[in-house]
Amino acid sequence: MNKRAIFASVLVVPLAVAGCSGAGGTPVSTSGAPATPTPVGVTETNEGGMVTVEATWSGPASGATFDVKLDTHSVDLDALDLSNAALRNDRGESLVPTAWVAAKGGHHREGKLSFDGDSFSFFNDAKWIELTLIGIGDVPERTLHWDIAS
């Protein structure tokens, strides 16, 4: 084996293993508001418990509907339904989730998570909202936060 092949192996193999290892690590944001709140229309990400959660909310005009994507390389996500999710605003009001509409995919799932209730009143004059997801991976609670422009 020549020196270039050895050098490439030393660099590439650890990176490939790290990318797919699914190491649990410390959750990025599991409760409360994150240090840097996410503005409307931006994807909020939470990693931990060997599962990455990405949730995108397009703002009050889109209603109480979120695009939620789950990714992992170690656990089966098909049993999750997210029916225990919570959506709260800064006034302490909450909306009730409907079923998560997401095709089964084993290690990768993506779909719409919607909430029932009067979303106009819920978002009107609210400063922020938080989406809390329960029991994904080894993380008991994940809270994703969006500031609402005044």
Please, where are the H alpha helices in the chain? 3-20, 119-123
What pLDDT digit, counting tens, does each position of 79-137 carry? 888 889 999 999 999 999 997 888 888 788 898 999 999 999 999 999 999 999 998 98
How many other C-beta atoms can be found within 10 angstroms of the C-beta atom of residue 44? 23
pLDDT digits 0-9 by tens, 15-63: 333 344 333 333 344 444 444 555 556 899 999 989 999 999 999 999 9
